[in-house]
Amino acid sequence: MEDILFFLEIMGTVAFAISGAVLGIRKRMDIFGVSILGLTTGVGGGIIRDLIVGNNPPLTFQDPVYLVVSIITSIIVFLPVIRTWIFRETRFYEALMLLFDSIGLGIFTVNGIQTAYQSTNIHGIILLAFVGVITGCGGGVLRDMMAGDRPYIFVKHFYASASLLGALACILLWNRIGYGGAMLLGATSIVVLRLLAARNHWSLPKADLPEE
């Protein structure tokens, strides 16, 4: 079980790092900027999570495997042959990234809940849900802010909402079916919701402002 979770976490980290690196390339950043944006997206949510629950220094720096994976992924994306393929095969890239990103969102959300359970004596639903969502979405928010964009999760698609619903499912099932089953069902629900949202173009309502 732990080996499977680790593999899925690596997949999610790679997907997050690619999204950050591609945005850096689109913003005409150099290789350092692309690497930092990929790194921030890959591990940013986990760092915020650890600061909230009191893991100091953050686990990313205690076991830097995800940090290294994020940087290597970003450098690979920056290579001319890879970035040319990404921007040429747009549809295939977007489909692949949707799958990997959805898996990463699901895994990191429930991983954040597990970390909060293990690191604090406060198991209130608000704290656990917040830590779960921030672990899944925090890196993307930091990425967009560093790139000068409005955070993606606030303006497009059913993203943070899927993370929140999956987090709540995981929390409510935690003591009923055990942490393994709760994490599996929580992560699966997030992946399914993300894929359904992308297929059916689900978005939250937006306010209509009068024309000036």
Span 148-169, pLDDT tens digits: 888 878 876 688 899 999 999 9
* Cβ–Cβ under 8 Å, residues 109 and 135: yes
pLDDT at residue number 189: 95
Averaged pLDDT for residues 123-132: 91
For the chain, the residue count is 212
Query: Rounded to 5 degrees, what are φ and ψ at 48?
Result: -60, -45
The tokens of 44 are what?
């940013």
What is the structure's pLDDT at 19?
A: 87
Question: What's the burial of 44, exposed, middle or buried (CB within 10 Å: 0-12/13-18/19+)?
Answer: buried
pLDDT of residue 44: 93
The whole model's pTM is what? 0.87
The pLDDT tens digits of the residues spanning 19-76 come to 899 889 989 999 999 999 999 999 999 999 999 998 889 988 988 999 999 999 999 9
User: Residue 42 in contact with residue 52, Cβ under 8 Å?
Assistant: no
Tell whether the model's pLDDT for residue 212 goes beyond 60.
no
Going from N- to C-terminal start, the domains of the chain cover 2-199
What pLDDT was estimated at residue 204?
Answer: 79
Q: Would you place residue 135 in the very low, low, confident or very high pLDDT band (cuts 50, 70, 90)?
A: very high
Average pLDDT over residues 126-133: 93
Higher-scoring residue by pLDDT: 130, 123: 130
Q: 165 or 122: whose pLDDT is higher?
A: 165
Q: Which amino acid is at 117?
A: Y
Secondary structure of the chain in the HEC alphabet?
CHHHHHHHHHHHHHHHHHHHHHHHHHCCCCHHHHHHHHHHHHHHHHHHHHHHHCCCCCHHHHCCHHHHHHHHHHHHHHCHHHHHHHHHCHHHHHHHHHHHHHHHHHHHHHHHHHHHHHHCCCCCHHHHHHHHHHHHHHHHHHHHHHCCCCCHHHHCCCCHHHHHHHHHHHHHHHHHHCHHHHHHHHHHHHHHHHHHHHHHCCCCCCCCCCCC
